[in-house]
Amino acid sequence: MKPFKISASGVRGVIGGALTPDLLIRFAQSFGTYLESGRVVVGRDTRPTGPMLHYAVLAGLISTGCEIIDLGICPTPSIQLMVEHLGADGGISITAGHNDASWNALELIREDGIHLNPFQGQEVLDIYHQGEFIRAPWNRLGKVREESGAVDLHIHKILEGIGGEAIRERRFKVAIDPCNGTGGLVDRSLLEALGCEVVAINDEPRGFPPHDPELIPRNLLQLSSLVRASGADVGFAQDLDADRLAIVDETGRPAGEENTLALLCEYTLRKHPGANIVTNLSTTRAIEDIAGRYGGSALRTKVGKEYIAEYTKNFGAALGGEGSGGIVVPQVHYAEDSFAAIPLMLQFMAETGAKVSELVSSLPKYTMIKEKVPCPPERIYRILSEIREMYSEENVDMTDGVKVDFGDSWLHVRASNTEPIIRVIVESKDEGRAETLCRRTLKQIHFLLTE
Amino acid sequence: MGKERLRSLKISISGIRGIVGEALTPELLANFAMAFGTYMNGGSIVVGSDTRVSGEMVRYAVLSGLIATGCEVIDIGICPVPTIQIMVEELQADGGVAITASHNPKEWNALKFIGNEGTFLNACQGEELLNIYHQGGFIKAPYTEYKGVIAHPSAAEIHINKILALDYIRPEIIKGRKFTVALDTCNGAGATITPQLLERLGCEVVSIHDQPNGLFPHDPEPIPENLGDLCELVRSSGADAGFAQDADADRLAVVSERGEAIGEDYTLALAAKFILEKKGRGPVVANLSTSRVVEDVARSLGEKIVYAKIGEINVVEAMKRTEATIGGEGNGGVILPDVHYGRDSLVGIALILQLLAESQKSISQIAASLPRYHIVKRKVDCPSSKIFPILKEIREKYAKERLNLIDGVRIDREDSWIHIRPSNTEPVMRIVAEAKTEEEASRLCDNITEDMNEILSPQ
């Protein structure tokens, strides 16, 4: 059985396994039925398996009588923006984000452009399981209209929300690596509108990703070389649907994926002292430290992008985001959006006049280690409860898996929303302490798995 | 509802057919496409559709299913079924899918499957495909084996060029006659390509129901009672000929310059007359429900007639076996091997216009020179369980007459015949009778219907 997951966050799997046209069509029909045959915006990322899912989604939505606006290959945040802009009832983004090319998925978006929350996702899932979909007769089938204006609208919205005068004056040289993903459709126009000189690699928005799209340092080697060779002021990397952003400093050194949010948090709080920042339980504690410096506070949600945008909106936060590099910039819209994050970072650079390496070194120093352990789904909850028992004397938060706060360091063990794995994240000011804590936890999990 | 719903779907060796919004769902279509992709082992597949409103939904489901099995898809968009068949052969593809419910009403749609020679799957191949579908173990290609969808925009031009390249079609002669041609494509798949062909032949085209939008203004079956608009158009425009196509443009009916539908059975007769006069070198093949006028034309020009079971592929296989010059069906389907082994209304149009141009006669004059028969077609509800008892009784009752038993029972007499067979698509018996007068043909149908009813409800 190939990895596959159908849940309140959508449907996701490895191609060649359970992610069949039949299943995708029924899932799209569930969503079309949930929306009572409303207006739906559809787009996909660049992975070569996209057309199979795209056609299945169109067939399913047409058969439930939905009016479809087809954006073709399009970043997820642009799809989210278009849902709101067009007054649509919902949207479907066909993307497995940062997962490698063997994966694909459907993400469901509601009328305000935010991903469905778990309660809404569960309602769609109930319709899916019940299997009774709206079946439009031949003369009430949905129609498909192609729409190509999403990217222009998105760039316009960003420039309107952020301005960018300070950036234009600096004439930055910016290196980009959109990983042959949808970022390639937007980056150059956006950066040139901000007066930047662009040097790019992997910016053809098609074909197989040239490297693993997850924004961890080992996948940023090409961008690092490009920054050094071109003498760029900064490098930006994105995943395939361009919701996540990683930053490389002017020396070619990755800032670290946690630090995209930390940097923008620092900038935002300098501008808006006392503001709220929304992030998830697995993100660096540097966010609390930074918020503390400026009299603000960090609100922690469960892990999953469906929570970040909704909490940012509901709490009127000045910024939201995840350690994985997804950033919500409320001036633009409530969606994790690498394009909205880029000008924010450039503005930080422009207004301070500092180099990226200097801005990074001013952040609180933590060592974070992220590990994952493959785990059969039926064992996950038993392992989580064993871990909880083990630390019953400590300060334990059970909002999402088990998060143990040791004061100087923390440990978070949780089930992935998207894959049959257990994630282990530890963070400490002390590198040795982080390593020990991580090693010890992994050993415990392996022991429980072989029991 | 249960019974209605059952009848809104038919999965058979001829493909899958049903009513959209009822049983013909996208998931069913995608699975059937996956079965075909599995049968073709992930080869290259040409996909085209007629103009039906549901065509887009069906097409997306089919593309998704084919891609998932690792097929490379060549999408030729809206086009006649014969164009799809020709493109499979032309591009040396492994197969094709035609999205069309041909003459069925607009709420229906269907998939028909084409093999690598560009002809529909035969009964054995259809059976193999069905077995894969029911077994359900489809190929699920890994992401590294995914291939794209290629649009091929010039299929219509290739089709037309193939017809105009025939040495006995002489556009300059047809052009010289400056024909006015009236056309009714029933807002179907012929709406774009047919005027193009006619213009290449120098004809002035006056058309009706010529939008490829699938909103059929009348029942798309090209039988005289559906051709009132076209007859009117021929009269008002003074056209030399009127042509009507069904929704997927494989069948053709002809209206004379007087505005009279000459009967869809005469389409093949006219085409056969032209081609046999040009180059008779092999028999004519027709299905068992075809008018005897075709047989008369063949005999008068020194060729045999060979009868085949109902179904395009059965006629095609008999044609290949007998090296036929031409073949087809009484319902207006003309098959010319020099172009392709498939029913093709555009081929019919070209042959008939060439006949008109060379003979210097009008359609009504040519039709009048052929024997006149009257054909009556009926369908009678028949539970599946009674099909074989009925055929057996009829076979025994008429045992002393000249019988053909390859598809139901056909009884041939001096100048009439009657054919009774179970439908492939509905729970009915189809009865076709032909005689010199309509009364006689009706009487023959009545007799067989009575025979049937006696067996269905014995006194």
Say if the Cβ atoms of A49 and B63 lie within 8 Å: no
Q: What angle do CA A305, A192, A97 make, to 5 degrees?
A: 25
Q: Looking at the complex, report in whole angstroms how far the Cα of residue B61 sits from the nearest Cα belonging to chain A.
A: 5
Q: Looking at the complex, report in whole angstroms how far the Cα of residue A95 sits from the nearest Cα belonging to chain B.
A: 14
pLDDT, position B43: 94
> Sheet of A10-14: strands edge to edge?
A4-7, A10-14, A103-110, A90-94, A39-44, A67-73, A144-146
Tokens, residue B334? 């003309």
Q: How many CB atoms lie within 10 A of CB B230?
A: 28
Kindly report the backbone phi and psi dihedral angles of residue B83, in degrees, each rounded to the nearest multiple of 5, phi listed first.
Answer: -65, -40
pLDDT, position A451: 77
Mean pLDDT (chain A) is: 95
Say if the Cβ atoms of A62 and B27 lie within 8 Å: no
Does residue B31 belong to the interface with chain A, where contact is any CB pair within 8 Å? yes
* B58 contacts in chain A (CB < 8 Å): 59
pLDDT, position B427: 79
pLDDT, position B3: 44
* A139 contacts in chain B (CB < 8 Å): 53, 107
Quick check: A232 pLDDT over 90?
yes
Say if the Cβ atoms of B149 and A51 lie within 8 Å: yes
Alpha-carbon span B368 to B366, nearest angstrom: 5
Closest CA to A128 of A8, A251, A239: A8
Does residue A350 belong to the interface with chain B, where contact is any CB pair within 8 Å? no
pLDDT, position A377: 80
Mutate to test the interface with A, among B4, B38, B67 (most CBs of A within 10 A): B67
Q: Is A131 exposed, middle or buried (0-12, 13-18, 19+ CB in 10 A)?
A: exposed
Compute the average pLDDT of residues A285-302.
96
**Alpha-carbon distances of A344 from A172, B112, B203, rounded to whole Å:** 14, 56, 66
Q: What is the pTM of this model?
A: 0.93
Say if the Cβ atoms of A21 and B54 lie within 8 Å: no
In this structure, the dihedral spanned by the alpha carbons of residues A193, A195, A201 and A207, taken in order and rounded to 10 degrees, is: 0
Confidence class of residue A1 from pLDDT cuts 50, 70 and 90?
A: very low
Q: Looking at the complex, report in whole angstroms how far the Cα of residue B96 sits from the nearest Cα belonging to chain A.
A: 18
Closest CA to B53 of B216, B257, B263: B216
Compute the average pLDDT of residues A384-392.
91
pLDDT, position A206: 92
pLDDT, position A293: 95
Q: Is the dihedral of CA A269, A273, A276, A281 positive or negative?
A: positive
Q: Looking at the complex, report in whole angstroms how far the Cα of residue B64 sits from the nearest Cα belonging to chain A.
A: 4
Q: Which residues make beta-bridge pairs with B307?
A: B286
Say if the Cβ atoms of B57 and A102 lie within 8 Å: no
Closest CA to A24 of A75, A68, A82, A63: A63
Say if the Cβ atoms of B27 and A102 lie within 8 Å: no
ipTM for the predicted complex comes to 0.91
Say if the Cβ atoms of A62 and B107 lie within 8 Å: no
Chain A, nearest residue to B23 by Cα = A135
* B150 contacts in chain A (CB < 8 Å): none
Q: Which parts of chain B register pLDDT below 70?
A: 1-7, 280, 458-459
Alpha-carbon span A279 to A265, nearest angstrom: 10
| DSSP secondary structure, A111-154, as one string | TTSSBPPHHHHHHHHHHHHHT------GGG---EEE---HHHHH
Closest CA to A350 of A186, A176, A233: A233
One-letter identity of residue A262: A
Residue B342 zone, left/alpha/beta (φ > 0; ψ -120 to 50; rest):
beta
Alpha-carbon span A231 to A376, nearest angstrom: 47
Alpha-carbon span A236 to B343, nearest angstrom: 59
| DSSP secondary structure, B144-191, as one string | GG---EEE-TTHHHHHHHHHHTSTT--HHHHHHTT-EEEEE-TTSTHH
Q: Distance between the two ends of chain A, CA-based, in angstroms?
A: 23
Confidence class of residue A5 from pLDDT cuts 50, 70 and 90?
A: confident
User: Which are the catalytic amino acids of B?
Assistant: 102
pLDDT, position B424: 75
Compute the average pLDDT of residues A227-241.
98
Chain B, nearest residue to A141 by Cα = B54
Quick check: A10 pLDDT over 90?
no
Closest CA to B44 of B114, B92, B78: B92
Q: How many CB atoms lie within 10 A of CB A4?
A: 17
Mean pLDDT (chain B) is: 94
A137 → closest Cβ in B26, B107, B148? B107
pLDDT, position A450: 87
Alpha-carbon span B367 to B361, nearest angstrom: 10
* A26 contacts in chain B (CB < 8 Å): 27
Question: Please, are residues B63 and B91 in contact by the beta-carbon 8 Å criterion?
Answer: no
A59 → closest Cβ in B22, B30, B67? B30
Say if the Cβ atoms of B64 and A52 lie within 8 Å: yes
Helices and strands, number each (H, E), in chain A: 15, 20
Alpha-carbon span B448 to B459, nearest angstrom: 17
| Cβ partners under 8 Å of residue A261, min gap 6 | A279, A283, A284, A287, A319, A321, A322, A323, A325, A327
pLDDT in tens, A92-133: 999 998 889 999 999 999 999 999 998 999 999 999 999 999
Q: Looking at the complex, report in whole angstroms how far the Cα of residue A54 sits from the nearest Cα belonging to chain B.
A: 8
Helices and strands, number each (H, E), in chain B: 16, 20
pLDDT, position B459: 58
Alpha-carbon span B410 to B305, nearest angstrom: 15
Alpha-carbon span A90 to B106, nearest angstrom: 30
* A20 contacts in chain B (CB < 8 Å): 30, 34, 68, 138, 140
